A and B are shown apart, each in its own frame.
Chain A
Amino acid sequence: MFEELSLHILDIAMNSIAANARTVEISILESQRRDRLVLRVSDDGRGMDAVLLEKVLTKRITTKATRKKNIGLGLALLRQTAEMCDGYFHVRSAAGKGTRITASMRLGHVDRPPLGDINGTILSLCAASADADVRLRYRTDTDEFRFSSKELN
């Protein structure tokens, strides 16, 4: 289990880069007013067809050839965290159309992991792909912060 939500985000978004995404967008909504935390990782990578998606979510498979033991844990871990914290977990994906993963949880839930080092997560993703545009959009009830690695180049 990851101790920080930002580690979940890093783990999930590394999949986006492995799927040859040109754009990886991480969106975090932290609302005290609605007592909600919503994380979303969207990419324009190669996506998954319905059959693969079903397998990924139920049978813990991985597409990564380097792993002989064939376990895909990342999504299952995030799902478990979201569901434990009165939230939901949703994946939308189609072959050739990218993937969007959403996890929501109750902000004030006693078991909710802290967001942790988002900066470290974004820097790691930038290091993982020189070509992809790694974007962050972070919102609270009153503030908003945006980042795009392509805007720096």
Chain B
Amino acid sequence: MNDMTQTNLERALKIVGSRPARPDGVDKVTGRALFGADKSLPNMLVGRVLRSPYAHAKIISIDTSKAEKLEGVKAIITSADFEDFPSEFVPNGEMVVNMKDITRNVMAREKVLYVGHTLAAVAATDEDVAEKALALIDVKYDVLPHVLEVEDAEKSDAPLLHDDMITIGVEPMPTSASNVAKRVEFGLGDVEKGFSEADLIVEREFTTQQVHQGYIEPHACLASVSEDGQAELWCTTQGPFVVRNFCSKLLGFNAAQIRVTASEIGGGFGGKTVVYLEPLALALSRKSCRPVKMEMNRAEVFTSSGPTSGAKIWVKIGVKNNGKITAGDCVLKYQAGAFQGAPVGPGAMCAFAPYDLKNVRAVGFDIVVNRPKVAAYRAPGGPISEYGVESVIDEIAMKIGMDPIDLRLKNAAKEGTVAPYGPKLGPIGMIETLEAAKSHPHYSAPLGANQARGVASGFWFNIGGETSSSITINEDGTVGLTLGTPDIGGSRASMAMMASEELGVPMELIKPIIGDTNSLGFNFLTGGSRATFSTGTTVVESTREAIEELKKRAALLWEVSLDQVEWVDGHARLISGNEPKTMSLAQIAKQAGKTGGPIMANCSMNVTGAGPSLGTHIVDVEVDEETGQVSIVRYTAIQDAGKAIHPAYVEGQMQGGAVQGIGWALNEEYIYNDKGELENTGFLDYRIPVCSDVPMIDTVIVEVPNPNHPYGVRGVGETPIIPPLAAISNAVSRATNKRFDELPLSPPKVLAKLMHG
């Protein structure tokens, strides 16, 4: 592939790098696009879920007999309708899941483990009947003490969520159960030796709160299982193939029996990578033999889907007076929610990854608490650990009197750096983003009263994975693309652009669609910043295969050998001969019937070689010392995209990620009462940034090509949520001359620190 890459990087690009209209644009501005809740079927039932009112309780009994007798109730399911599974870990995007836990999270079995945990589900003729039926289900509980915070959960006398959970990764293996699911450690060199060489050591503890992805579209699906066991599932998801596999396993279907069609998806950010309603709707439909539609309301989204971890972290960094870091060490304790699987592994791996360190260690603990089980959230684990490290870096810069960008430049990871998690890095853009930040006018602009400037960088791996897509050349010379990764932010456009660039036909003649699970081989989800990288790779490969076929057909028509034909600008061209001879794609396609039949190609592969994306953000804040309110005055996000296929959508990822990070830094947090009930289950109290909270988000796209993608793509979706947390905290610390170590920096917390230190 390297040769191809060279060709692409050197040749002038016509489409890639431009900003055409997205193919699904009109559908989305006219209200025509169908999202998860927008589809209905004749004879459809409504499904509703009974959820736990307790944070932790043993289920003594569930009696559904009264509800079953209610007129209009067609099916009721409980854990008795689901097969149990032994403990088995299954990779899922950037996270790992365990089937024993998934089946218990989808439907509580022995215990309820958080408020909102599913206990039963009902399908009825309308929502009123379904709600009445839920009220008639009689559940007897033995309420148990609960635990919400990692520092309480790890104590030896803490209430145990799972009495058989023995900590993995600790030597010798513990003999008794605890809430600590696992310990991970990554590192290089000798940390103690590194600290002994330091002129200055800064260590600090940080706290972050649980936050939610906050996608505007709640989870929704429509399942229809026929009398012969054939199932159709329409749902909002980042991965229809992943949904198919989870649901078939949980419910005992085979994969071919369930056809999953992804609806348009109204935001996911990692939160739509696992299953919640989908297996319930299928089970209810199988029991009633009628279509069943289910939707979460907003409160259910907050209490019962998968937010990300709150955490306690400790960071220690040693440095020479000249700014060279001699050692870095951190301990990360992440909330997993009710079942193990906090993103502490990736958090530990990337904590120090922006830097070239010889002595480094990151230890992580995955700790269960009585909160909803966490799911992926944009660079899962990264924002938390890097917030701590980037805050300490800033504190060091202030203490040794060095510019924070210069300090980072002095220690920046580059091609050939051995990453703290093991591998030697390929070309990466840490230095390039730092230099772009330093020379940006924002970095030297004057500041107003009570204002200060913060900087932070972020590293994220990005992933590849199993991918399959296909291309068809239609008889009239137009082109169809079938893709297996849902389009969550403009990927149809990027795919059509790459195919257009390869084929040399206008993008308007290329129609990309998202296929269902019967139309392609397995596709991993849209996540891990992998869609443009992985699906893009298969699109380019299959397009090149289609071009080979088009050349063959032209050779047949011209009665020459294949090596006499080349492909230039959408045309086959005869290389030799006295006069130039060309045949357009449309002319070849029209005659496909007599040269061998329809022309199509597909590419299915396990895509490897994703390139890490580095970002550096600059933020100016203003702190109101009367109220503790922090305002974002100016913001610039700089990131290495490898190659921006459609720069507007790359900027969009950077701007959206930055603003999600602003929310995480300033407002967002799960607030629990002493009963373990979430108190802010709506957007009024769980306040994500609104339009008037933020300024324009300036962007600078840096392009250090990834050698493993035909156009150099790295993937850009996740990195931009990492820098804002520390950049804002650093700016607030500089504005107030007090070092902040807790998120969110909401007015009461900032005011308390200003008043009491």
Q: Do A and B bind each other?
A: no
